Structure 1
Amino acid sequence: MKKVKRKAGEKRSQIAAMPIRRAADGSPEILLVTSRTTRRWIVPKGWPMKGLKDHDAAAREAFEEAGVVGRISDTPAGRYTYWKRMRDHFTLCEVKLYLLEVEQQLENWAEQHERDLHWFKLADAADLVDEPELGTAIRELETQLVLAA
């Protein structure tokens, strides 16, 4: 694996899906997954993929990490930054968030034995995630969804 030299303080880019659906009562829910190493609640995310637009890469992450497919927005619904734990250091990442309207949840998917997943009300999900900026983005999502309805 080739290491890329970065300037001190330079952010690395990541992409993420915010899988959403409507609960039986009509309220919006978001699907969170656990990270593989620290088991924190997060949204499906990863590095940009060569040959894929960022929103398509975010949809692929949701498919691999959570077994969900649907319609992905082509523009970010938000962004957040966090410190990613690497093997021997931390790196600052900026994550672009894309809304994924879930149409199907698969019974089997690539990382199902590596992660837990659960649908949460937006306020609960915002409280559960460790990254404050992600929590804020999830809280703001409720406003966006109400305006879009």
Structure 2
Amino acid sequence: MKKKYHFEQSGAIPFRIKNGKKEILLVTSIRKKRWIIPKGFIEYHLTPFQSAKKEAFEEAGVRGSNSTRALGYYKIKKYGGDIRIKIYSLKVSRVYKEYPEKNLRKRKWYSIENAVKKVDIPQVAKIIKKMGKNSSSK
């Protein structure tokens, strides 16, 4: 019987308030160019929310503050096992022109409604939709 692996990742849903409305920053995946949220494996020396902030900078070129409480999580099958991804909000305070994965991904701001339509993982869409109802998204 083949051994099953379990991995933990964390991700961020970067957001800003523009003209009184919340916007979500999505990035493209590297291979399939799907619209996703920044996420990655949790490094041993970081907490899940610190890792989510790190991924947001590396993949989307943004920094900000976020809550240490996860908004939720979702699961996918990849790398020969199950991956559980904890999701945190990230209120963007700075957007950088240069960042590590700039040449690998596109990034784009979307309204809550359009972000929900763009992401193809139902659990992520549900969390984004919930962020639209919550004024602080902590």
Fold equivalence (TM over 0.5): yes
Identity %: 34
Of the three residues 14, 19, 22, the one matched with 2:9 is 14
Task: Give the counterpart letter for 1:63 in structure 2.
Answer: F
List alignment gaps of at least 5 residues for structure 1: 1-5
Alignment RMSD (CA, Å): 1.9
Kept after mapping to 2: 8 A contact 1:82/1:131: no
Q: How far off is 1:7 after superposition?
A: 5.2
SS at match of 2:135: helix
1:123: how far off? 1.2
Structure of larger gyration radius: 1
Render the CA deviation track for 1:60-115: whole Å, top value 9, x for unaligned: 0001001100112111012122333x4xx5x3322111111100000100000000
Hey, what's the Cα distance between the residues in 1 that align with 2:102 and 2:31?
A: 14
Q: Which has the higher strand share?
A: 2
Unaligned runs of 5+ in 2: none
Q: What amino acid maps onto 1:13 in structure 2?
A: E
Q: Which residue of 1 aligns with 2:124?
A: 134
Rounded to whole Å, the distance in 2 between the matches of 1:11 and 1:127 is 29
Aligned length: 137
- Deviation of 1:12 after TM superposition, in Å, equals 2.3
